[in-house]
Structure 1
């Protein structure tokens, strides 16, 4: 039970917000070089038509851990090295077996994208986390660094090709309070969490049902390993086993989006579908 609750809280921070936040927001596919020879994605990612203030994506997941995630970009700016933005994430997630209310989590990330690196990097150094469960709330900060960028921006996606893997390193530091009280009762720290994505195989195009109707999309399959690393709960050190997930992204080239993700773990499959897209935004970008 304890491990399950920790997984909801921490994987909600480290998995959904950090890795998956970048996944559906992919820049337009380019023509020319093969996927392995594609140019660094920084310029394409910063210049993508959706990369502007007010752009919003909503996703819904079923299965043993039902979830709802809404992500919004704010304060988009071009910088000397690439671009930056504020990413707001609101999520609800729960374990269906516990039959309890979902964990509600709000996150604000200051995202910096460096296009001058040989492999585009995404950094968030001063993220704020505010989560609430049935009996407690948690408040604190997080940071992450991603190498490779967990999306398909700037790549030429061809059938029967293999794309390189990607890596995220994350840290989270939270204080725990009982609901209705400002008296801290504990702390939670995961300073060496990681998400490692293996090489990804691109399959043949298929027609699937999406929020935008029937679309021709390509299944991209890979293994994703999520580890919380050493986890400190107050003065207690926990070592949780890494989670190994087998993932299929359904990438739809005409929309330049992953509109569905299927996640297999322990012979159970969870589907996460994009249910709303507002890509142009309603604010001026800088």
Structure 2
């Protein structure tokens, strides 16, 4: 095996990500041979930058109390891949047909089973919301988002893009117990280059140009009081199935087909804060929980 192939295998070792349902993080491992599933884990984490906290769409998002410059949300996840995620909004702008913002996502993640050092990831997105269509189909997108990730032996640099229709539209809706909310569609792409940690020599590439997330109908459960970082809150459990597909995955010169994954998700949406303060994801009988652990909102402009 030549040196470039060996480094590429180091980078694409046993990877785990929260499969588009959790944080925008990469789980790059330290060693071991690569596989199609390993490469898929990198892309799955990169192709859904907003999936850690379901984002409401359209006018509801533009007018949400937390959608303002300076807002900061901290999230912590447990399970097989402990993680810490910080999301910061900047340069929020509003107009008659929508709004936009710069979204920075910083994250650290680690594979609990390997007990390795965390992987640092930074993503910068320009989020655009267009509410000119029907309210349930208002679009949200980000183009040319920059992604940087650093692990023990390698770093990854690249771009991602996504577009959703009616994405996670909770805020502003009159959501009641027993309701069924319609499904949603989310499409994204990612293109990454892999480098050794101390050199600028490219040693591999990963591309997924036709990734998708299909969310089924969502059932609104009974209101419950739960403990959150903001205190006791009355929140609604919203459950649904989420199917993620990477489409054709190109790793170097090799084209791979990766089986879609099916997740069972519960969003704990708290109407008083117009935010999902807890998310539970179950896959293959394993449960991952992501909680908002800090939420800072600058006062509105006067």
- 1:167 aligned partner: 185
Q: Does 1:85 align with 2:101?
A: yes
> Structure 1 residues 156 and 10, CA, compared in 2 at 3 Å: closer, same or farther?
same
- 2:232 aligned partner: 214
Deviation at 1:280, TM superposition (A): 2.6
User: Comparing both chains, which one has the higher relative contact order based on Cα–Cα distances under 8 Å and sequence gaps of 6 or more?
Assistant: 1
Q: Which runs of 5+ in 1 are unaligned?
A: 27-40
Secondary structure of the structure 1 residue equivalent to 2:51: helix
Could you give the per-residue CA deviations for residues 59-111 of structure 1, whole angstroms, max 9, x where no partner exists? 11100121111111111112352111111011122332222222221100011
- 1:33 aligned partner: none
The structure 1 residue matched to 2:63, chosen from 31, 34, 47, is 47
Any conservation in 1 of the 2:73–2:295 contact (CA below 8 Å)?
yes
1:1-286 alignment runs, 5 A limit: 1=14, 2-3=34-35, 5-15=38-48, 17-21=49-53, 23=54, 41-118=57-134, 119-280=137-298
Deviation at 1:7, TM superposition (A): 4.5
Any conservation in 2 of the 1:8–1:94 contact (CA below 8 Å)?
no
- 2:6 aligned partner: none
Any conservation in 2 of the 1:125–1:143 contact (CA below 8 Å)?
yes
Q: Which runs of 5+ in 2 are unaligned?
A: 1-13, 15-33
Any conservation in 2 of the 1:104–1:132 contact (CA below 8 Å)?
yes
> Structure 1 residues 231 and 281, CA, compared in 2 at 3 Å: closer, same or farther?
farther
Deviation at 1:276, TM superposition (A): 0.5
- Aligned Cα root-mean-square deviation (Å): 1.8
Any conservation in 1 of the 2:65–2:274 contact (CA below 8 Å)?
no
| Cα distance in structure 1, aligned partners of 2:156 and 2:238 | 35
TM-score (norm 2): 0.83
